[in-house]
Amino acid sequence: MRQILKGGEPFFFPGDEVGCLLAHGFTATPQEVRELGQRLAEEGRTVLGIRLFGHATDVRDMPRARWQDWMASVEDGYHLLKDSCSKIIFLGFSTGGAICLSLAQNLPVLGAVIMSTPHDLPSDRRIQMLRPMIRPLSLIYRFNPKGPPDFYDPKARDARVQYYHYPLRSVPELDELFSNMRKVLPHLYLPVLFIHSKDDRFIPTEHMHANFNLLGSEDKSVVLVEGSNHIITCDAAREQVFSEANNFINRLSGTSK
**What's 75-126 look like in SS3?**
HHHHHHHHCCCCEEEEEEECHHHHHHHHHCCCCCCCEEEEECCCCCCCCCHH
Segment 91-95 shows an average pLDDT of 98
Report pLDDT for 124: 67
5 found inside a domain? no
1 found inside a domain? no
Report pLDDT for 141: 76
Distance between alpha carbon 154 and the CA centroid of its chain, in Å?
Answer: 22
Report pLDDT for 137: 67
Q: Does residue 31 contact residue 231 with C-beta atoms inside 8 Å? A: no
Question: How many C-beta atoms lie closer than 10 Å to residue 242's C-beta?
Answer: 19
CA distance 236 to 219: 28
Segment 46-62 shows an average pLDDT of 96
Q: At 238, is the secondary structure helix, strand, or coil?
A: helix
Pairing of strands 46-49, 11-13: antiparallel
212 found inside a domain? yes
Report pLDDT for 96: 98
Report pLDDT for 255: 74
Average pLDDT over the chain reads 93
Q: At 156, is the secondary structure helix, strand, or coil?
A: helix
4 found inside a domain? no
Residue 160: Cβ-neighbour burial (10 angstroms; 0-12, 13-18, 19+): middle
Range of the domain at 111: 11-253
CATH code (residue 124)? 3.40.50.1820
Confidence bin at 131 (pLDDT 50/70/90): low
- Minimum mean pLDDT among 89-93, 135-139, 196-200: which range? 135-139
The pLDDT tens digits for 212-254 are 999 999 999 999 999 999 999 999 999 999 999 999 999 998 8
> Which residues face 111 on adjacent strands?
89
More confidently predicted of 143 and 99: 99
**Proportion of the chain above pLDDT 90, given as a percent:** 84
Q: How many domains does the chain have?
A: 1
Distances (CA, A) of 17 to 85, 91, 243: 4, 16, 20
Q: Check pLDDT > 80 for residue 128.
A: no
2 found inside a domain? no
Report pLDDT for 130: 63
Confidence bin at 149 (pLDDT 50/70/90): confident
6 found inside a domain? no
Confidence bin at 139 (pLDDT 50/70/90): low
- Minimum mean pLDDT among 82-86, 92-96, 129-133: which range? 129-133
The pLDDT tens digits for 164-180 are 999 989 999 999 999 99
